[in-house]
Structure 1
């Protein structure tokens, strides 16, 4: 009777253990890799630990030394390692360091089995790259809990790798798009520079030098000249608000309205009954551009402009200044003087009023039209160059020809700002008037 009871109790215990094992099995994620390496110089210890691992559904590999375990790590995709600390040849921490140096793509969770528990030993283990510790003899429940913690770490690391791959793929796509955009913007820069077809124009009555330097790939500044007739020319400098592509597109649109290549579309010209062209009053041109911008162009941008019509025979010049920096007149033997009284930018308010001022150019005079990217250039401490600093550069460059003066100006601006990349577009036009052709 007692023997039968004993057998029944043993059977009940066996059933209970199998049920717990089944719970453990159901608690694992079958999709997650579970190849575990057990490294211990004691064959019995390896067998005890491995038996539990296999019971819990892990695929187990065994090694009797750190060197043998390292070879298995090279050959197999091992996600977890249980290694004894004290082993002949290569110790557990030494094995861990060697494992970390394999350069694997995925992470391996490393648990050291040790009878050591001092702070120095724990620090040594952590410094070697170990993730966790278990005290020998190993408790089955604690081992299972540590393995579950390791699985959570590996799952998070796997998810992080997946997310990093997604991020890297997105970054590669962004880089491809950026390269394409950068190429397009470089082409746009060349196209915008082509709006200033000539940068050094020789006339019988003088010489015109032009420079256009955007702060980025493209900008909102433009300088130019156009022929009115045999005796008159137009000179202009304009600056569209803002920076970048939208400003550049508006600048290109405005260039068409002041083009010498298509005089029938040039708003500064008026066609005569005989088919020739005459200059429209510059103030009238600014007024019509203002109404056009507000009526037809759906944009928040506005622009400033200085537009001059010069009679090359007489030197008589009429200029409208619409919110643009004051034109500069340099006479031989005199310092630079600023012309005009400001005026309202174009495209801000309907029915804005514009007026012209008159200037009599003499042989040897120099006229400079420019954008505020010059006078508002800042030193690293925030101090602007302003009109006084600009006048000083012009005064020291008076003996130079127009193109050299513009080169000198850009050099001085770079020295002043301490950078080759300006924060605002820089543009200027220099007209040296030598008098009527003989």
Structure 2
């Protein structure tokens, strides 16, 4: 004999049928035109065939594509291959319960989120909390009413619409970020190559000229920078060296340094504006102030160039230590005398490329054997220290005196740079390029 269904179960089904039929009679036409947005495919999971037929009939009239499963195991297999937009699952089922099915459903890997509604006769708060913990989004208490079912599905559709719109925007952002990463990698690769080119402008960091020596330091704050140092000697006992700081940072400044490196070439004297060929036999060093004026005229002649630069350019006669230099807006060079005294040279002056028809003043002094001269960029003096202040000229002079004993050449400059980084404000990094030229005069 067939088992008779429980009386309470039959009453619940009858009430559900009546409520759904009444609601459908008044809303059938409107329901077919309703847009449920992201919810197109609906899976109904219930061990009661009659309950499924009632729900499926209503859902199809509302325009959904509906699938059925009579137990949780079958439902999981269907969801694994073709996940629905909405799941309506009974809580109490033989075998895998609706709660267990919800756990297993949320554990599936899927590119999209699906809305999950548990159908239950349980209304206790503890049971609702268990369902939410399992991954359910909403609950419907049996017996079902069509109006409430439609309202809950509409609410779920709005949530899914927002979630999928957000997911699409996230995908667009991820795609844009990937495009930016590719572009950044390309730019980074170009900048690394640009740094190699810029480093080639300073082919050697130290060089001896008889007993004297010139050493250089060039530390850009990024891949490339706007500082430039250099030296050249057209003949025995004649020497020129310079320190330049181009306004701004980055690619534009680096391009300007490349241009200036050509104007002051250490390899091609015929292109070096600081030299003049005489008697078709040898090159002579022009006066420093004349070189500054020539560079200023060239820069002002280029209407599209808005950058300017500061510079100290010096020439020295190694036979007697006679030093001539021009200071164009650059920090004052520091002379460390062999007797322990120190002084700053120069009168300041205007940067090059800022104003037309500018005259530059020459500064002269004599170096004695054992004297040292340091040209440097404001990356030293304007470095922000951990104390909150700037290094300034006094701090630079004190730092140089601490580094002098037992050190010379590039070792002295490396020690100066190391001490500068140790004195910086923690975590601040380099805000500006740091460069220097260190000239040690030791006579003929």
Instruction: State the TM-score, normalized to the length of structure 2.
Output: 0.88
Give yes or no for the alignment of 1:402 onto 2:404: no
Say if 2:193 is the partner of 1:197: no
Q: Note the aligned Cα RMSD (angstroms).
A: 2.4
Structure 1 unmatched runs, 5+: 1-13
Name the residue aligned to 2:330.
324
Query: What are the Cα deviations for residues 6-55 of structure 1, in whole angstroms up to 9, with x where unaligned?
Result: xxxxxxxx9x96794343223347x9662211122333322221221122
Which segment drifts farther, 16-25 or 225-234? Answer: 16-25
Match of 1:432 in 2: 440
Gaps of 5+ in 2: 1-20
Q: How does 1:62-211 map to 2 (within 5 A)?
A: 62-211=68-217
- Once the 2 structures are TM-superposed, how far is the Cα of residue 324 of structure 1 from its aligned partner? 0.5
Change (3 A) 1:297 1:421: farther
Question: How much does 1:313 deviate?
Answer: 1.2
Determine the structure 2 residue equivalent to 1:49.
55
| Correspondent of 1:25 among 6, 27, 32 | 32
Take 2:175 and 2:367, find their aligned partners in 1: how far apart are those partners?
63
Q: Distance in 1 between matches of 2:264 and 2:310?
A: 14
Q: Mark the CA change 1:324 to 1:126 in structure 2 (over 3 Å): closer, same or farther.
A: same
228-237 or 96-105, which deviates more: 96-105
Given that residues 114 and 135 in structure 1 are in contact (C-alpha distance below 8 angstroms), is that contact kept between their aligned partners in structure 2?
A: yes
Between 1:349-358 and 1:58-67, the stretch displaced more is 58-67
User: How many matched pairs?
Assistant: 422
Alignment CA distance shift 1:70-1:380 (3 Å):
farther
8 Å contact kept, 1:335–1:395: no
2:11 corresponds in structure 1 to none
Provide the C-alpha distance between the structure 1 equivalents of 2:24 and 2:137, rounded to a whole number of angstroms: 30
User: 1:377 deviation in Å?
Assistant: 1.2
Structure 2 counterpart of 1:383: 389
Q: Secondary structure at the match of 2:235?
A: coil
Deviation at 1:244, TM superposition (A): 0.3
Instruction: Indicate yes or no: 2:319 matched with 1:313.
Output: yes
Task: Tell me, yes or no, if the aligned pair for 1:205 and 1:312 is still in contact at 8 Å.
Answer: no
TM-score, normalised relative to structure 1: 0.89
CA distance in 1, matches of 2:55, 2:156: 16
- Alignment partner of 1:228: what SS? strand
Could you say if the C-alpha distance between residues 274 and 35 of structure 1 is closer, same or farther in structure 2, counting changes exceeding 3 Å?
closer
| 1:309 Cα deviation from its structure 2 partner | 0.6
Shift of 1:173: 1.6
Question: In the alignment, which of 264, 277, 292 is matched to residue 283 of structure 2?
Answer: 277
Tell me the SS of whatever aligns to 1:97. Answer: helix
Please state if 1:413 is matched with 2:420. yes
Counterpart-to-counterpart distance in 2, 1:89 and 1:379: 72
In 1: Cα distance, 2:263 partner to 2:393 partner: 29
Find the counterpart in structure 2 of residue 11 from structure 1: none
Matched, 1:36 2:46: no
